[in-house]
């Protein structure tokens, strides 16, 4: 028999890249999907050696069923999504179609393939801490009620509960990972952490960047993507399927992130590089999000290993190297 196959949707995202590389190192055959038209232009392609890349629109359920039959994966990781919380208000229907309906269609395809082939197929869904909504307090765990308040969060919550329902109804090995904020040097600059890291690097290299933020006292539980994909693998390798909060158990403010980013390159106070624009902050978002990963620690032996300070410093360091070398992506940027 040849190696087991893993199918990863959204393989060109930071999570998909780290997960694919981890699986390839351990001898898996990895098939990864990217949005149509991005196979040859996606910035993450240099990091995906050994991965078979397929163009697939997440809403194309017929093609997904064909991929199941063609590649016979033992593990399916659904990491692709409509990823912008803010933009989901303008494209609510697309967010729901991509993040909820498409997941149900995937579950149906996996179920049919399992039953038709008497196969052991395991399914991981990338859920989100956004499902908890804005009115939350304390450390959130798997039992915390969902109170989604954005189209993005509503769709993610629907997908989450669909996974639970298919697991309970059909005995599917299907897991949710409730992912709290996680970053890497390969995080897009449209996201706050990537924006801050690049600004600190730009300032060190002589630029005059300005980071525009809505609220620098918002708190989030920020972890490292490289750590979080290890939980994904452990969840599908466990004896039984379950849902897990994926978090560090510690929270930090954007003020602390700014200090860590600019401090990591010796620039001192970041205030000259920051502008506040309150209109960028939405009242539907939580002012603080903190995860309780104790279930993952107890059942999977997993915990985050990368400190907040080391994560931010690594992001800034890679952006400095990008600016100074003129090379946006290089395998040398991986640790």
Catalytic residue among 18, 47, 113, 152: 152
Q: Both tokens of residue 46?
A: 């240099």
DSSP 3-state assignment of 196? helix
Computed over its alpha carbons, how large is the radius of gyration of the chain? 20
The alpha carbon of 191 is separated from its chain's Cα centroid by a whole number of angstroms, namely: 12
Active site residue 130: yes
Active site residue 152: yes
Decide if 26 contacts 93 (C-beta within 8 A): no
Active site residue 91: no
Q: Where are the alpha helices (DSSP H) in the chain?
A: 14-25, 61-71, 92-96, 102-117, 151-170, 192-204, 225-237, 254-263, 294-300, 308-325
Give Cα separations from 219 to 58, 126, 172, 208, 326 (angstroms): 32, 22, 36, 26, 33
Catalytic residue among 128, 157, 251, 264: 128
Task: Sort 301 into a burial class: Cβ within 10 Å, 0-12 / 13-18 / 19+.
Answer: exposed
φ/ψ (deg, to 5) at 163 = -60, -45
Catalytic residue among 18, 88, 127, 130: 130
Decide if 10 contacts 79 (C-beta within 8 A): yes
Catalytic residues: 128, 130, 152
């Amino acid at each position: 028999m040849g190696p087991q196959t893993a199918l990863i949707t959204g393989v060109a995202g930071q999570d998909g890249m780290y997960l694919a590389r981890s699986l390839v190192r351990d001898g898996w055959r990895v098939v990864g999907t990217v949005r149509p038209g991005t196979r040859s232009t996606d910035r993450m392609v240099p990091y995906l050696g050994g991965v078979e890349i397929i163009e697939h629109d997440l809403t194309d359920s017929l093609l997904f069923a064909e991929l199941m039959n063609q590649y016979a994966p033992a593990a399916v990781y659904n990491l692709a999504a409509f990823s912008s919380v803010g933009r989901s208000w303008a494209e609510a229907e697309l967010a729901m179609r991509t993040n909820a309906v498409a997941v149900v269609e995937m579950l149906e395809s996996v179920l049919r393939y399992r039953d038709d082939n008497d196969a052991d197929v395991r399914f991981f869904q990338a859920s989100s801490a956004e499902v908890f909504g804005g009115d939350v307090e304390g450390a959130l765990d798997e039992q915390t009620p969902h109170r989604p308040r954005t189209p993005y969060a509503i769709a993610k919550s629907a997908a989450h509960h669909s996974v639970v329902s298919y697991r309970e109804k059909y005995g599917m090995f299907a897991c949710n990972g409730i992912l709290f904020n996680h970053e890497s040097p390969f995080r897009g600059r449209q996201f706050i952490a990537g924006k801050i890291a690049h600004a600190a690097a730009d300032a060190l290299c002589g630029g005059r960047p300005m980071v525009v933020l809505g609220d620098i006292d918002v708190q989030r539980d920020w972890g490292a993507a490289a750590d979080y994909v290890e939980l994904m693998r452990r969840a599908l390798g466990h004896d039984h399927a379950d849902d897990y909060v994926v978090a560090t158990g510690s929270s930090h403010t954007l003020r602390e992130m700014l200090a860590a980013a600019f401090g990591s390159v010796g620039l001192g106070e970041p205030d000259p590089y920051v502008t506040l624009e309150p209109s960028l902050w939405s009242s539907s978002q939580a002012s603080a999000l903190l995860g309780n990963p104790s279930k993952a620690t107890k059942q999977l032996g997993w915990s985050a290993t990368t400190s907040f300070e080391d994560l931010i410093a690594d992001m800034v360091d890679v952006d400095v190297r990008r600016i100074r070398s003129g090379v946006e992506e290089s395998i040398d940027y991986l640790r």
